[in-house]
Amino acid sequence: MWDTALLTHALLNAGVSETDDMIKHSSQYLLLRQHLHYGDWAFNNSNTIPGGWGFSDINTFIPDVDDTTASLRALKQTVSGNPQYRNSWIRGLDWVLSMQNNDGGWAAFEKNTDKKLLRYFPFDAAGRSVIDPSTTDLTGRTLEYLGNEANLLLPHPQLEKASQWLQRNQEDDGSWYGRWGICYIYGTWAAITGMKAIGMDSNHFSIKKGIDWLLSIQNKDGGWGESCYSDIRNKYVPLHASTPSQTAWALDALIATYDKPTEAIHNGIAYLLENNYQNNWTINYPTGAGLPGGFYIHYHSYKYIWPLLTLSNYRKKYEYLS
């Protein structure tokens, strides 16, 4: 589900028509897999009807916020041209909004499931496996969807609470920690693009601090790269090499922030274009997160999805300058 939703959105964003047979088939696949049954999420959210999407094809009752917003991004143009699908879109949007935690952020699977005492259970990574707290990447990605795809902007009480949560949880160096990707680049990208999507100014202190941090870790080749050790040591650890997905994430945050392309953006774009067909260890390095020191995920499609999205966003924002 995750790959299908991301690939469909990337292709649409790059200019493929929603009437293309490929998009029709993938959209139908997603529409048929919207959850219509209650799951564990309903224990703390009983007044909302099902409407989310899950990570895998056989998952029919454990939705998550990230797969739901990814699916809704992919389906936006299909739904706009086919009113019969509008109910699916509205159910999905309502479900996402209902899953916001009381602290203002969004978690992956549950609502208000953050009993700090459970972190002391006597097994590894208890804090990542028995609770589901708000995270930067989920909160930022949700705001990006709500702003860019659902057209919700500040002032809005839920968006305001979420932006305040992001500001409270920014690291001292300006970065944000990302739970489901590696790691501080991932979280910083999600936070900045999310805050920009809902209408926050590029000169906002929090956004400027995040951008300054991204600029400070850009590699000499124009790209960005971060080690999985960041997830273990709880601090940014450079990879000393660049990866396609992490470069695309950092670039996307810069593109969302700057009205005109900068030298850093030009260098990052050049890296993506020049390394598009590389096939070395940096292409296969895992940038998806599972459990710290336990397992990480190499998504084979990431080297296509994120660079394509970033290049498309670059073209859309700056083509008027050419």
* Tens digits of residue pLDDT in 218-269: 999 999 999 999 999 999 999 999 999 999 999 999 999 999 999 999 999 9
The mean pLDDT value of the chain amounts to: 94
> What's the full length of the chain, in residues?
322
pLDDT band at 321 (very low <50, low <70, confident <90, very high): confident
CB atoms within 10 A of CB 288: 17
What secondary structure letter does DSSP report for 222?
S
Q: Is the Cα torsion angle 231, 232, 235, 238 positive or negative in sign?
A: negative
Mean of the pLDDT values across residues 104-111? 97
Would you state the pLDDT for residue 124?
Answer: 58
What secondary structure letter does DSSP report for 301?
T
Query: Is the distance from CB of 64 to CB of 52 less than 8 angstroms?
Result: yes
Would you state the pLDDT for residue 127?
Answer: 59
Show the beta-strand stretches assigned E in the chain. Answer: 288-291, 295-297
Would you state the pLDDT for residue 108?
Answer: 96
Would you state the pLDDT for residue 322?
Answer: 62
> In the numeric block, which tokens belong to residue 322?
């050419």
Burial class (CB in 10 A: 0-12, 13-18, 19+), 174: buried
pLDDT of 116 over the 80 cut: no
- CA nearest 189: which of 234, 237, 129, 247? 247
Would you state the pLDDT for residue 258?
Answer: 98
pLDDT of 122 over the 60 cut: no
Tens of pLDDT, residue by residue over 135-189, are 999 999 999 999 999 999 999 999 999 999 999 999 999 999 999 999 999 999 9
pLDDT band at 276 (very low <50, low <70, confident <90, very high): confident
Q: What are phi and psi of 108, to 5 degrees?
A: -85, -55
pLDDT band at 121 (very low <50, low <70, confident <90, very high): low
- Is 66 annotated as catalytic? yes
Burial class (CB in 10 A: 0-12, 13-18, 19+), 159: buried
pLDDT of 190 over the 90 cut: yes
Mean of the pLDDT values across residues 73-100? 93
Q: How far apart are CA 9 and CA 16, in angstroms?
A: 10
Would you state the pLDDT for residue 99?
Answer: 98
pLDDT band at 277 (very low <50, low <70, confident <90, very high): confident
Which helix (H) or strand (E) is 185 found in, with range?
A: helix 184-197
> In the numeric block, which tokens belong to residue 173?
């160096």
Would you state the pLDDT for residue 117?
Answer: 54
Q: How far apart are CA 149 and CA 74, in angstroms?
A: 10
CA 77 vs CA 20, 149, 225: distances in Å: 12, 10, 33
Would you state the pLDDT for residue 248?
Answer: 98
Query: Is the distance from CB of 26 to CB of 17 less than 8 angstroms?
Result: no
Q: How far apart are CA 116 and CA 238, in angstroms?
A: 30
Would you state the pLDDT for residue 293?
Answer: 83
pLDDT of 118 over the 60 cut: no
> In the numeric block, which tokens belong to residue 295?
């397992």
Which helix (H) or strand (E) is 95 found in, with range?
A: helix 86-98
Query: Is the distance from CB of 297 to CB of 180 less than 8 angstroms?
Result: no
pLDDT of 320 over the 90 cut: no
Q: How far apart are CA 319 and CA 60, in angstroms?
A: 42
Catalytic residue among 66, 103, 132, 231: 66
pLDDT of 292 over the 70 cut: yes
